[in-house]
Every structure is written in structure tokens, then in C-alpha cells.
């Protein structure tokens, strides 16, 4: 089967449009769950939040400053902490074996 140039170009354009739309949804979803706002509502320090998420404080500070954005699993954890607060924090502390 031979695919014409215009057909493949149209297909690529549709794929790019869908990817752009998906990225826009992801960007707005991430903006809706600001790491700093989640941390403030949870009553945690920046160091505590970084430890809780299993990352360096430097990496976490890049999230808060907007230099980097949390990816899939980290974004989901932030969302859970924001929605379920103390319960999720307690579970994460138990998993890490920490009581801070």
C-alpha cells in the first residue's frame, strides 16, 4: 500500500494537534496543583516536602520556583496530598520510615 504525501502530512498534522491539546491540558492541570500551595496547605517545610516525596531539596525548590515541573507520578502525589492531606502524608511517612 502506498501512502500519498498529502495523506501522511495530514496524519502528522492531526497527531501534532492532539499532542498539543494533551500538553495544554497537562500544563493547566499542573498549574492547578502548585507545589508551593500544596506544601503550605499541608503545613510542611520545603525540606520536609522534598523528603516526603523522596527527592532532593534542590530539585523540589526548582518545582516551586517554576524552573521545572513535576512529572506524572510526582504530579499525582502532589494531587493526592492536596486532596487527602494528612492521610496521604502519614502513608508516605510510613513508607519512608520517617516521623518528622
Q: How confident is the model over 54-66, as pLDDT tens digits?
A: 999 999 999 999 9
Query: Which of the two residues, 57 and 32, has the higher pLDDT score?
Result: 57
Q: Decide if 38 contacts 81 (C-beta within 8 A).
A: yes
pLDDT value at 36 more than 70: yes
What mean pLDDT comes out for the span 5-34?
Answer: 54
Residue 17 pLDDT grade (very low, low, confident, very high; cuts 50, 70, 90): low
What mean pLDDT comes out for the span 69-75?
Answer: 88
**Cα gap 23→21, rounded to integer Å:** 5
Q: Decide if 81 contacts 44 (C-beta within 8 A).
A: no
| Geometric angle at alpha carbon 56, from 51 and 59, rounded to 5° | 125
Q: Decide if 72 contacts 22 (C-beta within 8 A).
A: no
Amino acid at each position: 500500500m502506498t501512502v500519498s504525501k498529502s495523506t501522511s502530512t495530514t496524519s502528522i498534522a492531526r497527531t501534532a494537534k492532539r499532542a498539543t491539546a494533551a500538553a495544554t491540558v497537562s500544563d493547566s492541570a499542573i498549574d492547578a496543583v502548585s507545589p508551593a500551595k500544596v506544601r503550605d496547605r499541608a503545613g510542611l517545610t520545603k525540606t520536609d516536602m522534598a523528603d516526603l516525596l523522596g527527592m532532593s531539596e534542590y530539585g523540589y525548590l526548582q518545582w516551586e520556583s517554576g524552573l521545572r515541573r513535576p512529572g506524572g507520578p510526582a504530579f499525582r502525589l502532589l494531587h493526592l496530598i492536596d486532596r487527602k492531606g494528612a492521610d496521604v502524608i502519614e502513608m508516605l511517612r510510613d513508607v519512608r520510615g520517617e516521623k518528622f
